[in-house]
């Protein structure tokens, strides 16, 4: 029993250490020349551009729900004119970064993890090493840069669509004054909120790509000893669950660190 | 889609993000790319409780500027508030600045009441006549304890 918990702890320690080394190796590889922009552009297309449709739809409906709920709650106090600031603040501070991150985990994080996992499984990564091509530089680094660029962009698109959705639900459907909606928003949102949103989205981007590539890259060290197709499916599930939980935990941590 | 290549799609994506960010930053974050046509004046208050930087300055109910800076004068123990007033609004030097609340729980703002003087406030001048924030609690306690 004690032996087992000790082994668990050592395994945990090893995983944390491996994750740290993985991150450090990747970051130094990003800084090292040669810089090749084309793989990064392709990854931005995959992680960013291809996620736009999902982000547009989720953003619009999140905003509409916020507008609807906010309107009915604020109506009790007779302060419907606060709707604009309520929608904008909750979108910019919390929902924008978090929901975008969750969508990207589902759409791109899982795909990245599976892709690298399969490459490891079919020994393509070993083949790269045999050809003296650094897999960190060739495979992982472009994904990191692309995620760090894409997440803020997607988050801001989400915010704009959410504000539009709140406008649709609140002003067009429920009849809040248009001026009150936008003016309340301009008055209450400050630069610090937008900076918080930016910081959150960049950190979430790093977490997503870090966890998904890590899980895929070290498929062969998987403790359950299951490789092949089942192993890939298992690590992909792991990566999605772990990344989602980490995002929510970090959302609270960053919020409390910056707002206090 | 044949004539839309990868670079163009990525470019469009980045452009959309940049536009969204700049709209939020300029409209809501009050980031200035252009010089705004305002001039600063100061006003001293005994208490400004609840007034925040960025609060509106209103004249006859119309927004004519905003609070740009609040600090404490350590010698006089007074709050010094700096206001940025729009250039096309001229204020007489006996204008009154008072701190008001919009609604019962609303934000604090500064209400300007025009005076009758012939002289106008210049850049950096001080509004002499001020009224401090009215605190509901103070009024209530005054009412309770004075009525014995």
Residues B42 and B109 in one domain: yes
**Residue B63 pLDDT:** 83
pLDDT higher than threshold 70 for residue B1: no
Answer yes or no: is pLDDT of B103 > 70: no
Q: Do residues B56 and B99 both lie within one domain?
A: yes
| Averaged pLDDT, B74-97 | 86
Is 80 exceeded by the pLDDT of residue B75? Answer: yes
In this structure, the answer to whether residues B15 and B82 fall within a common structural domain is no
Average pLDDT, integer, range B23-43: 74
- Tell whether A147 is within 8 A of chain B (Cβ): no
Q: What pLDDT does A198 receive?
A: 92
| ipTM reported for the complex, 2 dp | 0.76
Residue B133 lies in a domain: yes
Q: What is the C-alpha separation between A86 and A88, in angstroms, rounded?
A: 6
Confidence class for position B3, pLDDT limits 50, 70, 90:
low
Quickly tell me which residue has 């707002």 as its tokens: A259
Quick one: tokens of A17? 């250490």
> Which residues does chain B have within 8 Å of residue A154's beta carbon, measured at their own beta carbons?
17
B88 contacts: CB under 8 Å, gap ≥ 6: B37
Note the pLDDT of residue B105. 64
Q: Look at B16-20, B59-63, B64-68, B134-138 and tell me which has the smallest mean pLDDT.
A: B134-138
Say if residue B76 is in the same domain as residue B107.
yes
A179 touching chain B per CB within 8 A: no
pLDDT of residue B126 exceeding 60: yes
pLDDT-derived band at B7 (thresholds 50, 70, 90) equals confident
- Distance between CA B114 and CA B89 in Å, rounded? 11
Q: Which of A149, A187, A194 sits opposite B25 (nearest CB)?
A: A194
List chain A residues with CB under 8 Å of B21. Answer: 152-153, 156, 194, 198
Q: What is the CA radius of gyration of chain B?
A: 22
Q: Does residue B33 register a pLDDT over 60? A: no
Q: Which residue has the higher pLDDT, A247 or B88?
A: A247
Residues of A in contact with B20 (CB under 8 A): 153, 156-157, 159-160
Q: What pLDDT, on the 0 to 100 scale, is given for residue A211?
A: 94
- The number of domains in chain B is 2
The first and second tokens of residue B10, run together, are 């990525």
Q: Which SS3 state, helix, strand or coil, does residue A248 take?
A: helix
Domain limits, chain A? 36-259
| Tokens standing for residue A173 | 């459907």
Distance, in Å, from the CA atom of A200 to the CA atom of A213, rounded to the nearest integer, reads 20
Calculate how close chain B gets to A114, using CA atoms only, in Å. Answer: 23
B67 within 8 A of B53, measured Cβ to Cβ: yes
Chain A residues with CB under 8 Å of B6 CB are: 41-42, 45
pLDDT beyond 60 at B53: yes
Q: How do the pLDDT tens digits run along chain A, 260 residues long?
A: 888 899 889 988 998 999 999 999 999 998 988 888 888 999 999 998 989 999 999 999 999 999 999 999 988 887 878 888 889 999 999 999 999 999 999 999 999 999 999 999 899 999 999 999 888 888 999 999 999 999 999 999 999 999 999 999 989 998 888 888 888 888 788 888 888 999 999 999 999 999 999 999 998 887 777 778 888 999 999 999 999 999 999 999 998 888 76
Choose the mutation target among A43, A47, A104, A157 for the interface with B, i.e. most B CBs under 10 Å: A157
Contacts with A114 (C-beta within 8 Å, 6 or more apart), sequence order: A216, A232, A236
Q: What is the DSSP letter of B54?
A: T
Residues of chain A neighbouring B29 (CB-CB closer than 8 A): 189-191, 193-194
B5 and B73 belong to one structural domain: no
Which of B10, B23, B32, B102 to probe by mutation at the A interface, max A CB count within 10 Å? B10
Q: Which pTM value belongs to this model?
A: 0.78
Determine the Cα–Cα distance for residues A169 and A175; give it in Å rounded to an integer. 9
Domain shared by B23 and B75, yes or no: no
Residue B129, domain member (yes or no): yes
Residue B103 belongs to domain spanning: 38-141
Distance CA B110, CA B96 (A): 10
**Cα–Cα dist A90/A162, whole Å:** 10
Tokens of B17: 């993000």
Of the candidates A254, A75, A49, the one whose C-alpha atom is nearest the C-alpha of residue A170 is A75
Whether A201 and A94 have beta carbons less than 8 Å apart is answered as: no
If you count DSSP H runs as helices and E runs as strands, how many of each does chain B have, helices first?
A: 2, 8
Q: Are residues B80 and B55 in the same domain?
A: yes
pLDDT for A225 equals 73
Q: Is residue B148 part of a domain?
A: no
The CB density around residue A158, as the number of other CB atoms within 10 Å, is 33
CB contact under 8 A, B20 and A187: no
Q: Does A149 touch chain B (CB under 8 A)?
A: yes
| Residues of chain B with C-beta less than 8 angstroms from the C-beta of A88 | 28
- Chain B nearest-CA distance from A211, in A, is 24
User: Are A190 and B12 a contacting pair at CB < 8 A?
Assistant: no
Average per-residue pLDDT for chain B: 81
Q: Is the dihedral of CA A211, A217, A221, A227 positive or negative?
A: positive
Binning pLDDT at 50, 70 and 90, where does residue B32 land? low
Alpha carbons A91 and A100: distance in angstroms, whole number: 11
Co-location of B53 and B123 in the same domain: yes
- Cβ atoms within 10 A of the Cβ of B24, count? 25
Query: Do B28 and B42 lie in a common domain?
Result: no
CA distance B79 to chain A (A): 23
Same domain flag for B127 and B114: yes
Nearest by CB to residue A156, choosing from B10, B21, B29, is B21
Torsion of Cα atoms, A199 then A204 then A210 then A213, to 10°: -140
Question: Could you tell me how many CB contacts below 8 A there are between chain A and chain B?
Answer: 72
**Quick one: pLDDT at residue A214?**
93
């Amino acid at each position: 029993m004690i032996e087992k918990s000790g082994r668990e702890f050592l395994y945990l320690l090893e995983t944390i250490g491996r994750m740290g080394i993985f991150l450090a190796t990747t970051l130094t590889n990003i800084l090292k020349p040669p810089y090749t922009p084309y793989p990064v552009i392709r990854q931005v297309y995959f992680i960013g551009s291809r996620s736009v449709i999902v982000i547009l739809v989720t953003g619009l409906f999140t905003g509409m729900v916020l507008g609807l709920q906010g309107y009915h709650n604020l109506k009790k106090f007779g302060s419907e004119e606060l709707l604009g600031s309520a929608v904008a603040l909750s979108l910019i501070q919390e929902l924008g970064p978090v929901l975008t991150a969750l969508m990207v985990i589902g759409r791109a994080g899982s795909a990245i993890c599976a892709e690298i996992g399969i490459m490891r499984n079919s020994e393509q990564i070993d083949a790269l090493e045999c050809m003296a091509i650094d897999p960190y530089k060739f495979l992982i680094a472009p994904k990191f840069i692309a995620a760090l660029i894409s997440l803020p962009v997607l988050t801001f698109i989400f915010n704009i669509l959410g504000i539009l959705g709140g406008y649709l639900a609140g002003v067009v459907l429920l009849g809040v004054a248009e001026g009150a909606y936008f003016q309340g928003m301009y008055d209450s949102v400050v630069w610090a909120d937008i900076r918080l949103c930016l910081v959150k989205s960049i950190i979430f981007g790093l977490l997503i790509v870090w966890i998904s590539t890590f899980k895929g890259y070290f498929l062969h060290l998987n403790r359950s000893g299951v490789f092949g197709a089942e192993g890939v499916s298992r690590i992909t599930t792991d990566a999605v669950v772990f990344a989602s939980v980490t995002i929510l935990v970090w959302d609270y941590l960053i919020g409390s660190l910056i707002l206090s | 889609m044949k004539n839309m290549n990868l670079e163009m799609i990525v470019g469009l994506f980045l452009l959309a993000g940049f536009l969204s960010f700049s709209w939020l930053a300029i409209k809501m974050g009050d980031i200035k790319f252009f010089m705004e046509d305002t001039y600063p004046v100061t006003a001293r208050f005994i208490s400004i409780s609840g007034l925040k930087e960025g609060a509106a300055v209103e004249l006859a109910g119309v927004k004519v500027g905003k609070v740009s800076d609040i600090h404490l004068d350590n010698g006089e123990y007074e709050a010094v508030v700096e206001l940025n007033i729009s250039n096309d609004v001229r204020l007489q030097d006996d204008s009154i600045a008072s701190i008001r609340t919009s609604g019962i729980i609303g934000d604090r703002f500064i209400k300007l009441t025009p005076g009758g003087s012939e002289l106008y406030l210049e850049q950096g001048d001080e509004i002499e006549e001020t009224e401090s924030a009215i605190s509901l609690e103070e009024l209530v306690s005054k009412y309770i304890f004075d009525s014995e």
